[in-house]
Each structure stands twice: as structure tokens, then as C-alpha cells.
Amino acid sequence: MEKIRGFEVAKGFENQEIHLPVRKTQYSAGYDIEAAEDVVVPSFKKGMAPTLVKTGLKAYMQDDEVMLLYNRSSNPKKKGLILANSVGVIDKDYYGNVDNDGHIMFAFYNIKDEDVYIKKGECIGQAIFQKYLMTDGDKATGIRSGGFGSTSH
């Protein structure tokens, strides 16, 4: 079967009982993604870095596609969790990169006064595959050299 788009378990997580994401209803746009391990997201303090929550997953897709990571709609109100980057962008060439095999992570801040505990297997967000367009004259030829945040200069 030709691979078009989907999820796989990232290297290092093969024996961790990682569940591949699924849509919960017929008309859901997003694939629900679970945490790969227990993690504590500390209460926010000025200057702190976001907590990266591992999923144990990587995603493959077509050349003109991107996968977008969104927060669960209930996370800000119920748990105080917000995505540090508002929307995560997973490019096609992130898959299988040399740094981390394309391992997908969610970057969270916790805006509550107390630490938030996320359990392994708990749904933390959702992923949506989308087509994207390019401008006239686009001549991008760069090649990804690493993993998380590696396309910035």
C-alpha cells in the first residue's frame, strides 16, 4: 500500500504502547493525540521555557501538505494549558529528521497557579492535515538539517 499521510511511532518509543491518533467522530477534522509519558507542566513564571510534552509519534504526508497541531478546546479552561506557539506546524520534511526522527511534541504553558499533571495516554491536543499553496516564483531549495525549530535562521 502506498503511504499517503498518516502517523507512525517515532524511534525510541517502539515498546512504549503508543496509540496512533484517531478521529473520534465521522466529521471530526482533528486526530486526537495522547501524551507518551507522564509529565508535570509547572505553573508559569516569567521567563520560563514551555514544557515539551512528548507524543512518541511522527507523521508523514504529501509534498504540498502540512500538519497543524492545535490545543484541545477544554485545556485552557479546565487545565490552564495553552500552546506556547498557538499552532504547531509540522512540515513534511520534519518526518524522519536526523535529530529526533520527526518526533512530535506539544509546547505548553500552564497559566494556573498550581502544577498540572498529564498522564501517559491522556489526550493533549489534535492534529489536522492540510494542503497549502505557494506563491508565484517560489524557489525554496533549502534542505532540513535537524529537528525541533531547525528551519529558523
CATH number at residue 28: 2.70.40.10
Q: Which residue range forms the structural domain that includes residue 123?
A: 6-131
- Domain assignment present for residue 67? The answer is yes
- Domain assignment present for residue 137? The answer is no
Contacts of residue 7, Cβ cutoff 8 Å, sequence gap at least 6: 20, 21, 31, 57, 58, 59
Distance of CA 54 to the CA centre of its chain: 8
Closest CA to 86 of 98, 102, 69: 69
- Domain assignment present for residue 116? The answer is yes
Distance of CA 37 to the CA centre of its chain: 14
- Domain assignment present for residue 30? The answer is yes
Give the number of domains in the chain: 1
Query: What was the pLDDT predicted at 63?
Result: 95
Cell of 62: 504529501
Q: What is the rounded distance in angstroms from the CA atom of residue 85 to the CA atom of residue 113?
A: 21
pTM metric for this prediction:
0.90
**Residue 153 pLDDT level (bands cut at 50, 70, 90):** very low
- Domain assignment present for residue 29? The answer is yes
Cell of 27: 466529521
Cell of 70: 492545535
Phi-psi domain of 96 (left: phi exceeds 0; alpha: psi -120 through 50; beta: other)? left
- Domain assignment present for residue 153? The answer is no
- Domain assignment present for residue 143? The answer is no
- Segment 123-139 mean pLDDT: 96
Each residue's pLDDT tens digit, 17-30: 999 999 999 999 99
Cell of 35: 501524551
- Domain assignment present for residue 40? The answer is yes
Q: What is the rounded distance in angstroms from the CA atom of residue 124 to the CA atom of residue 2?
A: 29
